[in-house]
Structure formats: C-alpha cells, structure tokens
Amino acid sequence: MAEHELYFADEKALRSYKVRKVIRNVLSYGFLTIFAIFMLIPFWFMIMTSLKSEIAYQNEQIAGILRLIPDRVVWDNYASIFGTSGNFGQYFLNTFIVATLSTAFTVVTTVFASFAFARLDFKGKDFIFTILLATMMVPGEMMLITNYQTAMSLGWKDTYQALILVHGVSVFYIFYLRQTFQQIPNELYLAAKVDGYGEFNYLFKVMLPIGSPTIVTIIILGVMGAWNAFIWPNLVASGTNPVFGNSMRLVSNGLMSLFTSEFSSRDTVKIAGSVVVTLPLFIFFLIFRKYIMRGVSRSGIKG
C-alpha cells in the first residue's frame, strides 16, 4: 500500500514539474518574442518605407497612418541614390578598404601587445599596462584634436593613412585579448619551451588557435566600428585624394552630404540610404554572430 502511495506521489510531483516547466518556457519565449518584435519593427518599417514613393509616404503622414506594407513597391529611392551620386560606389570602396586594412592593422598590434603583456617578462610591464588602462578613462572625443593635428602635420589630409593608421591601436582590444591569453595554462608555455618552441612559434601555433574566438570577435567589432565611423572621417576625409584624385568620403559621411544637398527634402530617399548603409553590416553580423557569442561566452580553459 505504501509503495502505491509513493508511486502516485512521485507521478504527481513529476506531472507538476512538467506543468511548471511548460509554463516557464511559454512565459520566457513569449517575453523574448515580444521583445524581438519591438526590436525588429523599426528595421521592418525602415525597409518598407524605402520601397514607398515619396507621394505615398507624404499622404500617409497627412492621414496619420503609416503602413507597414506598401500598397505599391517602387525602387525609385534606390535608383536616386545610385544614379544621382556618381561617387556612391567610391564611398563603398573607400569604406571597404578602410574597414579591411584598419581592422587588419588593429589585430596585428593587439595580438603582439597582448602576447607581450600576458606572457613576456620585462621591466615595467605592469606599470605600462596600468598607464594603458588609464587612457581608457579618457573620452575618445578629447583625443580628436591631437589626432587631427598629428594627421595634418604628417600631410595625411584626405588620405587612406589618416583613416587606417590613426586608430590602429585599441587599448580595450589589448585588454580583452590579454585576458584570454592569461587564461591559457602556463604549463603549455613551459612544455613548448621544453620542446624548443620560440616565443613567436608558441604565439602562432598555440596561443592564436586557442584564442581564435576572441580574435574573431575583435575582427568583427573592428569592421563594424570602421563601417559606422562618422566623426573622424568627416574631419580628415571630406575632399579628394591628392594622389589618386578620388573622393575620400566613406558611406556614412558620404550619404550625409547627399542628405543635406540633393535629398534634403526627400525622406524616403534618406531612409533608403540608411538601408543601403545598414544592410551589408547586418548581413555581416548574421554570418559571424556565432563567433561573437563564442568570444564573449568563453570564460576560461581548463588545464
């Protein structure tokens, strides 16, 4: 009799647990779904508005009703952007060159600096690293004047050097990668030294493969930062290159110049321009988002 009562009690507890689990999952996924909808509606509205005619969009504003799906899809807004400005393709090319080379330069400096601070022993290492961390307390806007004066004194006005090299060192990335390198067991380093590995062999064959998720995260964040840059390119790259003769604007400040001139009164064209700038970066993020999750969630390595 006692065994039957125990069986029914366990079955009742199991059923209660399953019900609570289902309710918890429904509430969790329901909250996440609502949150995702609120996050996606602005992007959906931006894309749909870019496919509306200017007249239809103005009529919706007058009526006080903005439709999330256009009655008629038109591509005139995108044709205006690519057709009116002959330099728009150059803006994209400049942005691609700057994003690629500046990110590559940043990764090189970050890897070597992080390796030095994580594994090498030299006099004043901790003091130098503390000074570097202290610079993170200074807002980036305060460095614009000195960086601008440095670039102008070197004759880098409207050149790729000013866009690529000035921000080629990131203290945050060095700190971020150093933390990953420090989590690698020191026994691996000692074993590599016993096997005759030099410092650079150990870096490239052991530390870089283990720290690859963090490095990929740095690459992704570097590309996104270079693509979205506006203030610095607007200061040093608003004219034509003295050597190649091409416009040095990037997509961000290039589109802004169009918005304040040809398309100052055309809201749908402005929104279409925002889609053109955002979409490549959004696709890039979707492709490499799993690497960001790996780099952020990587908490350590068990030795």
**CATH number, residue 154:** 1.10.3720.10
The confidence score (pLDDT) of residue 301 equals: 43
In total, the chain counts a number of residues equal to 303
Q: Are 95 and 237 in contact (CB under 8 A)?
A: no
Looking at the structure, do residues 30 and 149 belong to the same domain, yes or no?
no
Residues 6 or more apart in contact with residue 237 via CB below 8 angstroms: 94, 158, 159, 162, 163, 248, 249, 250, 253
Looking at the structure, do residues 95 and 178 belong to the same domain, yes or no?
yes
How many whole angstroms separate alpha carbon 226 and alpha carbon 160? 13
121-147 pLDDT, tens digit per residue, is 888 888 999 998 888 888 877 788 888
In sign, the C-alpha dihedral spanning 62, 64, 68, 71 is negative
Establish if 62 belongs to a structural domain: no
User: Which residue's entry shows tokens 């490239």?
Assistant: 204
The confidence score (pLDDT) of residue 264 equals: 67
Residues lower than pLDDT 50 in the chain: 1, 6, 299-303
pTM for the full predicted model? 0.77
How many whole angstroms separate alpha carbon 60 and alpha carbon 271? 15
Looking at the structure, do residues 175 and 239 belong to the same domain, yes or no?
yes
Q: Which residues of 231-263 are buried (b: 16+ CB within 10 A; e: fewer)?
A: ebbbbbbeeeeeeeeebbbbbbbbbbbbbeeeb
Looking at the structure, do residues 231 and 149 belong to the same domain, yes or no?
yes
Establish if 154 belongs to a structural domain: yes
The confidence score (pLDDT) of residue 198 equals: 78
Looking at the structure, do residues 255 and 162 belong to the same domain, yes or no?
yes
Looking at the structure, do residues 89 and 45 belong to the same domain, yes or no?
no
Looking at the structure, do residues 112 and 36 belong to the same domain, yes or no?
no
Looking at the structure, do residues 113 and 226 belong to the same domain, yes or no?
yes
Q: Are 163 and 233 in contact (CB under 8 A)?
A: yes
Helix axes 267-297, 76-84, angle to 10 degrees: 90
The confidence score (pLDDT) of residue 114 equals: 92
Looking at the structure, do residues 98 and 40 belong to the same domain, yes or no?
no
Establish if 234 belongs to a structural domain: yes
Looking at the structure, do residues 26 and 174 belong to the same domain, yes or no?
no
Looking at the structure, do residues 102 and 42 belong to the same domain, yes or no?
no
In sign, the C-alpha dihedral spanning 70, 76, 82, 85 is negative
Range of the domain at 142: 84-297
Which parts of the chain fold into alpha helices (H)? 2-50, 54-63, 76-84, 88-119, 125-135, 144-153, 160-164, 171-182, 186-194, 199-202, 208-210, 212-228, 231-236, 251-259, 267-297
Establish if 113 belongs to a structural domain: yes
Establish if 77 belongs to a structural domain: no
- Take residue 149 and report the two structure tokens written for it: 């004066």
CA atoms within 13 A on the CB side of 25: 6
Looking at the structure, do residues 264 and 125 belong to the same domain, yes or no?
yes
Establish if 282 belongs to a structural domain: yes
**DSSP state, 138?**
S
